[in-house]
Amino acid sequence: MALIKFKNVGIKSVSACVPKNIEKNKSLSYLFTNKELQEVIKSTGISERRIASESICASDLCYKAADNLLNNMDIDRKTIDMLIFMSQAPDYKIPATSPHLQYRLGLPKTTATIDITHSCSGYVYSLSTAFSFVTQDGINRVLLLDGETFSKYISKKDKINIPLYGDAGTATLIEKGNFGHSYFSLNSDGSGVDVLKIDAGGARNPTSLLNINEVELEDGNFRSPHQLYMDGMEVFNFTMMNVPKDIKKILKFACLNFYDIDKVVFHQANKLMTDFFSKKLKILSKKVPYSIDRFGNTSSASIPLTIVSELKTKQNNNVILSGFGAGLSWGTALLNLKGCEIFPLIEI
């Protein structure tokens, strides 16, 4: 059972960057009738999304967020001991993206670098990794960069996915300090590997002339094996079954209850799903922030993006973070964010 407890390690500051380009879901009238569009916007809670241009990668968004954080905190860049890049949209297959981010940010050559590839639970997973490294004697500060450009993986003729996904990059500074205790629960169920998937382009199904073109599918959508497939009902059922139980588990592990929690930041998958969690767990609506209406589903970056856009106060003592998605995987964290510096959202 992957239940982890940390002491005196925490988040010092968070920053986020989104593309300037706004795509409104009402502009998708070429795919939907007006009635269908209204229903999509209502059920997902997504009115608009930020979409990266062809020249902007997830690493570019993360770079801007990190540079903003380091400058505003007046951090000596020589004090960053490790950089972690969490993304499903790396610059290249080889090399890893994190060493180049170390170079671009002017961090010393003694900075350890790691790429992590995970799903919408990736922020919780990579945050636990950062916390683990900071507990070591030789590491005092870790810079976690989490960014996604899922819009590049979506067919423009895919009714299921195109209204959902947006792009964002974030930076989180983790360090030793008087943060009290933090708790993590990490879980996976690989039997659901096919539920949310980009099938082609990896070693198991390499790129070929047979799989690069979009084709019309049985449901009337157009998609290539290099673009995202999602079985929405299976994802919904998986999250309903596992996410509320995991949140209860982390509260029990920490010997706390919902009255002790200031905010619950869910991965921003869709509003219908998050509303269901809140109702099932009897969480007050004021404790559940949303950013999905303006940014869409930004995959693993959605939790830190929501922190930046919605948690503008330093008085969030106990905050639950809940991520879930492809793999299938899910994770929950309970942290003390009191005093955390949260910088205004920036754009490029």
Distances (CA, A) of 259 to 1, 251, 286, 329: 26, 11, 13, 27
Listed residue (218, 222, 186, 175) closest to 324, CA to CA: 186
Q: State the Cα angle at 286 between 3 and 241, rounded to 5°.
A: 40
Q: Tell me which of 17, 57, 62, 120 is the catalytic residue.
A: 120
Q: Does the annotation mark 297 as catalytic?
A: yes
Q: Do residues 199 and 193 make contact, with C-beta atoms less than 8 angstroms apart?
A: no
The whole-angstrom separation of Cα 9 and Cα 3 is 16
Is 291 within 8 Å of 306 (Cβ atoms)?
A: yes
Residue ranges of the alpha helices (H) in the chain?
34-44, 58-73, 98-104, 122-134, 232-254, 271-281, 292-295, 302-310
Choosing from 221, 267, 316, 318, the catalytic residue is: 267
- The DSSP bridge partners found for residue 176 are 9
Question: Is the alpha carbon torsion for 277, 281, 285, 289 positive or negative?
Answer: negative
Residues identified as active-site: 120, 267, 297
